[in-house]
Structure formats: structure tokens, C-alpha cells
């Protein structure tokens, strides 16, 4: 297949159409996965906690790896790293060593919650016009697959930082399940296989050095059920297991990453120094009250705080939870308001002033809940000047960030009640499609606003050297009034993540649903001037009609791309759920 196929003029120009087609196709993929997923064990319970532990993640092999670590005496941190190392192998379209992640950890004995930010960072040489060309902003497909889109991967440094802080098993042990699967081979899942024919048509996956040979051996897309080995991944894992993160951020592996980013078309300028200088950042855990509960989540550049906003606004809109109409209307309005603020104010907190305290303050949330927008109107961000004089001069240009779906979430609670909520990504499906030593390189730089405003106004989420792009990923935990953990949740889904995760919170805390019922509940995404409703699930059409009756312009969607993995702690024990829209499962293990 000729490379020119992907560079021809039509593809460069029809970016909006391409994005639309791609989104349709992505939702189709998730719908396809449903029939397969129906056979998986989605819900699990263990009674009573603390005599059990639980792992919920997007692939059974990955869940097994986490369970194995717990069996060996490891804790939630060990299990999370081992689980994710397998996800990077068996679900490479979603996340891996070439990407980044957010890691929220609850240490029950210390009663301490920690957020480690392993987000990809922009190369030191990056400038705001990274994606600008002579003809304007680079086309969507070109930018997605460009070398310019590759940010410095943070995942390996994140593993190490988390393990140094709170891991229990030896570092090298965490790599064993993934190493064995990569060496002996694993069975290609339907979801991975389903992507490949379409990727060959729409992307460069089937022509890029390394990825072509791996995903399309002899020019044929891998089929579901095939046994696949990844000796390069095994070698990379061995190097990191033996040499720690230095083996990844310097030497052969770092050189392969830099070479992958430097390849045509649209080469990037990621350097060996960028890799050597990468740092995981410990950031504040943001907590906010919701009724008797405390919701704790990740600070920007994540969108965790949007969870607290959605919940705070929902509460102040006074829905009757027993009444479908009012609770749906409040959920939609709370999302619309919170998204408008998130889109406008959030970015890299090391680089811009994010008025988070104001956005989360009871006074602002109360006033914001009263902001009225017609159902068909696109809500604008709130006016914070009355609350915080220091931000009166800040007026960002309207946000233009575009996000795609290629991410995963895992939730774990160990025998001692410690927990991890980890959301990990390579950004779009298969990242840039570029390959290095057994894994794919992320396209996280396209999570920045790519277009430089012609009027010279600044954007909160503009590209800048070493900056981290805003993320929608929102790993979240809920605590009871007495401080005990109640819920661990999170999801992939690009810009829809805040909506997906908020649904899991409200479903369980307010709507009387079990975790599995909340996960299965139709997704409702209210960002901008339309409301997307997932009609392919029970109650979906009723939800859509109810919202239409209120006047919201509803987009009815067959499938959605959430991947919620949730664990609830109840007096009766742990109850876990996996999202039927993906291939995940929940497994429990009884205490030894």
C-alpha cells in the first residue's frame, strides 16, 4: 500500500468530515464490542470486605496480572502497575509505555490520597504554532499521526514513582505477567482485531515502520483469536525491569522513541534531552463535598475537578432523584455549565492560573447553577470576576481543543483497603500509529488547542515548551463522612470522560443503582449545544425523548465509548463493575 494514499489532498483537507467519520466509526467499534462483551464476567462481589480484594480493568489478561500480584502479597500499587503493563500489550490501541497516565492512590493506613501526574509533556522545542502550516492549522488526520504529536511519554516514570512511594513487591516482579504474555503470546481480542481493517483504510498504522509488521503480518490484519507474540515488548520490559526507568529514558529505547517521532511525514522534534528530563509531578488531590460524601480526584491538567463541579451544580439544581425528568434535566444542565468552565479555564497548572478555588467554591457553584442558557444555546463560561479580583484580567480565547478516544481506566482495591484509580492513554486509537521497541508512541500533543487564534488572543490550552496538555481523564474516589473509602471510578472517552464518570457517581450515590447498573445506564454527554444520548442501551430512547421534550437538541447514538471500571465498598463487601462497551472484567480474590 502506498504511503501517498494517506497524504493525498482530500485527506489533508477534509478534516472536519474525517473527524466526524472517525467518531462514527469509533462509536461503531464500541457497539461491535457489546455482543462479545456480553459473555464476560462484568459484575463481581466479595463478602465481606476487608477479606477480599478486587481488580476491574479493560481486559481479562490484565485483570489476571493484577490479581496475581495480590496473590503474591502485593498491594494495590503493585497490582495497578502489573495490570497496566499487560494492558499496554493486549490493548495497545488505548494506552502503553509510549503514553501517559494519571494515578490516584489511597493509602488506608495513612489515610492519605496521592495524585501522581505522568502526563506526556511537550518537547522543550515546542512552540504555540506546532500544528500551524502555511495553509492554516494542520488537518486532523495529519496532526494525529504526525511526529509533532508525540509528547515525552510519562508512563514508565509514573510506574517507578508510584512503586518507590508505595509498592511492596520487588520492581522486577511487576513485569513478569506482561513479560510472559509478550514472550509466549496472547490471544488477540475482538476489539483490537476489529480496529485493524478500518485503521488500514483511515490511518498509517498499516504502513508505519514496526506497526505495519506487528499488526499486519504479511500485509494481513491480525484476526481475533490469533496468538500474537511481541518479542520487542518483552525485550523492553526486561530492560526496564532490570535497569529501572533509566533504561527507558536513556539509551536504545529513548533513541527509538526519538527516531519514531522524527520520521516523515510531519516529523517532530522530541529529543533525547526531553526524555532524560521527564519528571513525574505529584499534584494536589482535589476534594469537594457532595451531600455527606467527599469526592476526591485529580487536579489539572486532569479534568477531575469537573467531577466536583458537575456534582456540586447537580445538587444546587435541586433535582428530585426519584423523578426521571428532573434528575435528567439537572444532570444535563450541570454538565453543560461545568464543561463550559472546564473548556475555558483548564490547562497546565504550572503554566497558567486556573481559578480552581473559585470554580469549586460554594458561592460560585450556587451562582453558576442559576446561569440560564436555552437548551439549544451553547453555554459560555461563568463570570468569576465577582469572586476573584485577581482573575479579572484573564480572558482566554475560546477553546478549540479536539480530543479522540484511545484510553483505558483501571480500578483496584487491595486486602488492606488501599486503592488505585489509574487512567492511562496514548490519546487517539493507537496513538500516532508510530512504533518504537514493541509499543506505540502517543499523539498527546494534539490534546492541546492546535490552532493559533488569528486575533493574537492567548489560549489556556496552547502548546508551549515542556507544557502538559489539558486532559479529560478524571480518576476519582469517593469517601464516606467517616473517611472510609466508598467508591473508585474512572473512564476513558476523551471529552466525554467527565460525563461518563459523573454518571457513575450519581448513579451509585443518588439514583439507587448498583455499580453495574450505573455503568450500563445510557451515557448522556451534554457539552456545547447538543446532548448525546446512548440509545443502544436499555432506557436510552426514553432518556432521549425526555430530554427532547425539554427542548435539548439530542443526538441519538447507538453506542458510546466509555470504559468505566468501578468498585464500590459497601457494608456487605466489595461490588465491582466493568463496562460492557469494552472487553473488561472484574475479578475478586478472597483473603489468604
Among 134-142, 366-374, 383-391, 488-496, the segment contacting ligand GLU (CB under 6 A): 488-496
Which one, 329 or 425, has the nearer CB to ligand GLU?
Answer: 425
- How big is the site for ligand GLU, counted in residues (CB under 6 A)? 14
Sole binder of ligand GLU in the list 27, 230, 432, 471 (CB under 6 A): 471
Sole binder of ligand GLU in the list 473, 487, 508, 547 (CB under 6 A): 473
Among 314-322, 449-457, 493-501, 504-512, the segment contacting ligand GLU (CB under 6 A): 493-501
Which one, 404 or 574, has the nearer CB to ligand GLU?
Answer: 404
* Alpha-carbon torsion angle 352, 358, 361, 363, nearest 10: -160
Cell numbers found for residue 66? 493484577
What backbone torsions phi and psi does residue 427 show, to the nearest 5 degrees? 80, -110
Q: Using the rule CB under 6 A, is 59 a contact of ligand GLU?
A: no
Which one, 93 or 176, has the nearer CB to ligand GLU?
Answer: 93
Which one, 58 or 332, has the nearer CB to ligand GLU?
Answer: 58
Which one, 237 or 497, has the nearer CB to ligand GLU?
Answer: 497
The Cα-based distances of 422 to 77, 117, 376, 409, 566 in angstroms read: 10, 10, 35, 6, 11
SS3 call for 379: coil
- The CA distance from 77 to 166, in Å, is 7
Among 271-279, 331-339, 393-401, 402-410, the segment contacting ligand GLU (CB under 6 A): 402-410
Cell 511481541 maps to which residue?
Answer: 230
Closest CA to 580 of 497, 535, 519: 519
**How distant is the alpha carbon of residue 45 from its chain centre?**
25
Among 394-402, 487-495, 523-531, 581-589, the segment contacting ligand GLU (CB under 6 A): 487-495
- Where in 365-394 is the site for ligand GLU (CB under 6 A)? none
Q: Using the rule CB under 6 A, is 431 a contact of ligand GLU?
A: no
Sole binder of ligand GLU in the list 176, 335, 425, 546 (CB under 6 A): 425
Say if CB 38 and CB 516 are below 8 A apart. Answer: no
- The CA distance from 149 to 122, in Å, is 9
- The CA distance from 68 to 97, in Å, is 21
Which one, 447 or 579, has the nearer CB to ligand GLU?
Answer: 447
CB of 408 to ligand GLU, least distance (A): 8
- The CA distance from 433 to 439, in Å, is 9
SS3 call for 567: strand
DSSP structural state of residue 48: S
Q: Using the rule CB under 6 A, is 315 a contact of ligand GLU?
A: no
Q: Which of 113, 407, 446, 489 is catalytic?
A: 407
Among 81-89, 143-151, 337-345, 491-499, the segment contacting ligand GLU (CB under 6 A): 491-499
CB of 495 to ligand GLU, least distance (A): 7
The Cα-based distances of 262 to 133, 210, 447 in angstroms read: 17, 14, 19
Q: Using the rule CB under 6 A, is 203 a contact of ligand GLU?
A: no
407 has catalytic annotation? yes
- The CA distance from 525 to 297, in Å, is 20
Q: Using the rule CB under 6 A, is 451 a contact of ligand GLU?
A: no
CB of 358 to ligand GLU, least distance (A): 23
SS3 call for 556: strand
- The CA distance from 58 to 12, in Å, is 33
CB of 346 to ligand GLU, least distance (A): 11
Which one, 32 or 246, has the nearer CB to ligand GLU?
Answer: 32
What backbone torsions phi and psi does residue 171 show, to the nearest 5 degrees? -50, -50
Helices (H) and strands (E) in the chain, counts: 20, 23
Which one, 104 or 237, has the nearer CB to ligand GLU?
Answer: 104
Say if CB 410 and CB 56 are below 8 A apart. Answer: yes
Which one, 216 or 500, has the nearer CB to ligand GLU?
Answer: 500
Q: Using the rule CB under 6 A, is 494 a contact of ligand GLU?
A: yes
CB of 130 to ligand GLU, least distance (A): 16
- The CA distance from 403 to 316, in Å, is 30
Among 38-46, 254-262, 361-369, 398-406, the segment contacting ligand GLU (CB under 6 A): 398-406
The secondary element (H helix, E strand) that includes residue 145 is: none
Sole binder of ligand GLU in the list 497, 509, 533, 544 (CB under 6 A): 497
Among 78-86, 356-364, 369-377, 486-494, the segment contacting ligand GLU (CB under 6 A): 486-494
Which one, 173 or 442, has the nearer CB to ligand GLU?
Answer: 442
The DSSP line for 215-266 is: HSGGG----TT-EE--HHHHHHHHHHHHHTTHHHHSHHHHHHHHHHHHSSSS
Question: Which ranges constitute the DSSP H helices of 379-426?
Answer: none
- The CA distance from 469 to 328, in Å, is 31
Q: Using the rule CB under 6 A, is 492 a contact of ligand GLU?
A: yes
CB of 34 to ligand GLU, least distance (A): 18
CB of 403 to ligand GLU, least distance (A): 5
Sole binder of ligand GLU in the list 121, 146, 407, 520 (CB under 6 A): 407
CB of 578 to ligand GLU, least distance (A): 17
CB of 407 to ligand GLU, least distance (A): 3
Question: Which ranges constitute the DSSP H helices of 272-323?
Answer: 272-276, 304-316
Which one, 297 or 330, has the nearer CB to ligand GLU?
Answer: 297
- The CA distance from 569 to 339, in Å, is 29
Sole binder of ligand GLU in the list 405, 421, 436, 463 (CB under 6 A): 405
**How distant is the alpha carbon of residue 563 from its chain centre?**
9
CB of 53 to ligand GLU, least distance (A): 26
- The CA distance from 290 to 220, in Å, is 52
The DSSP line for 320-333 is: -TT-HHHHHHHHHH
CB of 554 to ligand GLU, least distance (A): 23
- Residues with a catalytic annotation lie at 407
Q: What are the residues binding ligand GLU (CB under 6 A)?
A: 403, 405-407, 425, 427, 447, 471-473, 492-494, 497
Amino acid at each position: 500500500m502506498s504511503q501517498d494514499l494517506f497524504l493525498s489532498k482530500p485527506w489533508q483537507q477534509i478534516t472536519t468530515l474525517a473527524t466526524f467519520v472517525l467518531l462514527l466509526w469509533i462509536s461503531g467499534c464500541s457497539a461491535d464490542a457489546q455482543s462479545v462483551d456480553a459473555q464476560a464476567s462484568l459484575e463481581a462481589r466479595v463478602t465481606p470486605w476487608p477479606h477480599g480484594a478486587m481488580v476491574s480493568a479493560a481486559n481479562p489478561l490484565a485483570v489476571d496480572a493484577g490479581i496475581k500480584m495480590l496473590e503474591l502479597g502485593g498491594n494495590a500499587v503493585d497490582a495497578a502497575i502489573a495490570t497496566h503493563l499487560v494492558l499496554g500489550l493486549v490493548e495497545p490501541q488505548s494506552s502503553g509505555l509510549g503514553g501517559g497516565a494519571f494515578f490516584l492512590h489511597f493509602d488506608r493506613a495513612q489515610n492519605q490520597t496521592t495524585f501522581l501526574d505522568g502526563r506526556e509533556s511537550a518537547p522543550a522545542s515546542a512552540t504555540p504554532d506546532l500544528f500551524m502550516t502555511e495553509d492554516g492549522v494542520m488537518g486532523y488526520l495529519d496532526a494525529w499521526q504526525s511526529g509533532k504529536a508525540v509528547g515525552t511519554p510519562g508512563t514508565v516514570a509514573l510506574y517507578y514513582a508510584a512503586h518507590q512511594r508505595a509498592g511492596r513487591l520487588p520492581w522486577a516482579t511487576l513485569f513478569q505477567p506482561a513479560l510472559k504474555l509478550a514472550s509466549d503470546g496472547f490471544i488477540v481480542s475482538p476489539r483490537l482485531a476489529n480496529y485493524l481493517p478500518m485503521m488500514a483504510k483511515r490511518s498509517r498504522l498499516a504502513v508505519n515502520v514496526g506497526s505495519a509488521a506487528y499488526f499486519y503480518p504479511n500485509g494481513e490484519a491480525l484476526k481475533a483469536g490469533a496468538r500474537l507474540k511481541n518479542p520487542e515488548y518483552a525485550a523492553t520490559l526486561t530492560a526496564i525491569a532490570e535497569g529501572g526507568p533509566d533504561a527507558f529514558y536513556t539509551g536504545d529505547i529513548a533513541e527509538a522513541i526519538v527516531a519514531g517521532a522524527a520520521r516523515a511525514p510531519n516529523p517532530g522534534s522530541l529529543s533525547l534531552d526531553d526524555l532524560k528530563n521527564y519528571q513525574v509531578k505529584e499534584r494536589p488531590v482535589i476534594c469537594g463535598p457532595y451531600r455527606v460524601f467527599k469526592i476526591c480526584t485529580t487536579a489539572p491538567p486532569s479534568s477531575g475537578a469537573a467531577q466536583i463541579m458537575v456534582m456540586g451544580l447537580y445538587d444546587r439544581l435541586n433535582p428530585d432523584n426519584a423523578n426521571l425528568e428532573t434528575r435528567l434535566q439537572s444532570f444535563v444542565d450541570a454538565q453543560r455549565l461545568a464543561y463550559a468552565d472546564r473548556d475555558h479555564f483548564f490547562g497546565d497548572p504550572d503554566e497558567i492560573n486556573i481559578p480552581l478555588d473559585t470554580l469549586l467554591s460554594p458561592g460560585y457553584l450556587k451562582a453558576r447553577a442559576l446561569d440560564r442558557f436555552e437548551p439549544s444555546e451553547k453555554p459560555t463560561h461563568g463570570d468569576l470576576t465577582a469572586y476573584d479580583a485577581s482573575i479579572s484580567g484573564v480572558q482566554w480565547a475560546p477553546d478549540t481543543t479536539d480530543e479522540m478516544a484511545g484510553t483505558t481506566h483501571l480500578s483496584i482495591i487491595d486486602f488492606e483497603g488501599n486503592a488505585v484509580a489509574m487512567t492511562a492513554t496514548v490519546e487517539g486509537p493507537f496513538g500516532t500509529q508510530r512504533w518504537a521497541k514493541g509499543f506505540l508512541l502517543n499523539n498527546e500533543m494534539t490534546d492541546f488547542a492546535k490552532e493559533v487564534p488569528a486575533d493574537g488572543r492567548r489560549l489556556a490550552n496552547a502548546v508551549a515548551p515542556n507544557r502538559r496538555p489539558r486532559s479529560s481523564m478524571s480518576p476519582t474516589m469517593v469517601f464516606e463522612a467517616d473517611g472510609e473509602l466508598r467508591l473508585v471510578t474512572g473512564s476513558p472517552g476523551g471529552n466525554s470522560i467527565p460525563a461518563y464518570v459523573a454518571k457513575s457517581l450519581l448513579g451509585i450515590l443518588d439514583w439507587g443503582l448498583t455499580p453495574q447498573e450505573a455503568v450500563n445506564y445510557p451515557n448522556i454527554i451534554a457539552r456545547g449545544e447538543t446532548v448525546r444520548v446512548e440509545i443502544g442501551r436499555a432506557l436510552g430512547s426514553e432518556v432521549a425523548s425526555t430530554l427532547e421534550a425539554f427542548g435539548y437538541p439530542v443526538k441519538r447514538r447507538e453506542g458510546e465509548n466509555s470504559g468505566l471500571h468501578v468498585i464500590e465498598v459497601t457494608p456487605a463487601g466489595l461490588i465491582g463493575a466493568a463496562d460492557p462497551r469494552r472487553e473488561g472484567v472484574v475479578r475478586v480474590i478472597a483473603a489468604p
